[in-house]
Structure 1
Amino acid sequence: MKSETVNGATFETWTVDEVEAGMESGKIILIDVRTPQEYMFEHIHGALLMPMAGFDAGALPGQSDKQILLHCGSGVRSEKVSRAAMDAGITRIGHMEGGFGAWKAAKKPYIGVNMGTGAPQRME
């Protein structure tokens, strides 16, 4: 993971492998900042949704037990929202490098829509 300090806050950039390990160990909370439509079509199992359009840093859960990491489609929106959260007083936050596109490129499992039935299913 890459880390930088910005005005006393720590901003981390995690790889998809680090995010997967963090989720499996229960050490992180992954928050998806994409649109509800993007999330409904496909998302990482266990990721919470807090779209960038209505993002409120004050509504983020505490980080006493788990660290907050954000992700989007490519990493651009999640980095922007992470930096806005730091501007709002969050002292430690991170995002997933490359976003959901990198997750899929790395062949990580996710929840997608079965186009035949319209039902969500695990995609490998």
Structure 2
Amino acid sequence: MSQANTLIELEPAELADRLESGEVLLVDVREEAEFDAVHIDGAVLMPLSVFDPAALPDADGRTIVFQCAAGGRSARAVAACLAAGLPHSHHLRGGIRAWMSAGLPTVD
């Protein structure tokens, strides 16, 4: 199986670096209330409960990375994209919980 068809997990520090350099479009697949409570700056909300891979925004050459609370829902978003024939295979390992545990900034 090629890397494009496999879940690629990014660690929080790696995602932070890639966000800062503008390489990534971060898609948060948690629900709206979770997002409103706390989220990563620049994340786009697309709840998994209504997720449609065809509705993803134009990443303008950036890598789409999915993120949720702990990693389960974002992995399911990757699976949905791959099943739809889209090459989006990156997600944040451990979700926003790992991000916050690493001491990285959030918007509350």
TM-score, length-scaled by structure 2: 0.92
Structure 1 residues 12 and 88: alpha-carbon distance in aligned structure 2, compared to 1, 3 A threshold = same
CA deviation digits over 1:53-84, x for unaligned, max 9? 01010011344510000000000110011111
2:38 is matched with 42
Higher RCO (Cα < 8 Å, 6 or more apart): 2
Which structure 2 residue ranges, 5 or more long, are not aligned? none
Which structure 1 residue ranges, 5 or more long, are not aligned? 113-124
Runs (4+) off by over 4 Å: none
RMSD of aligned residue pairs (Cα, Å): 1.6
Equivalent-residue separation in structure 1 for 2:45 and 2:103 (angstroms): 22
Give the greater-gyration-radius structure (CA).
1
How many residues align? The count is 108
Structure with bigger helix share is 2
1:69 is matched with 65
Identity %: 34
Structure with bigger strand share is 1
CA deviation digits over 1:12-37, x for unaligned, max 9? 11110111011000000000000000
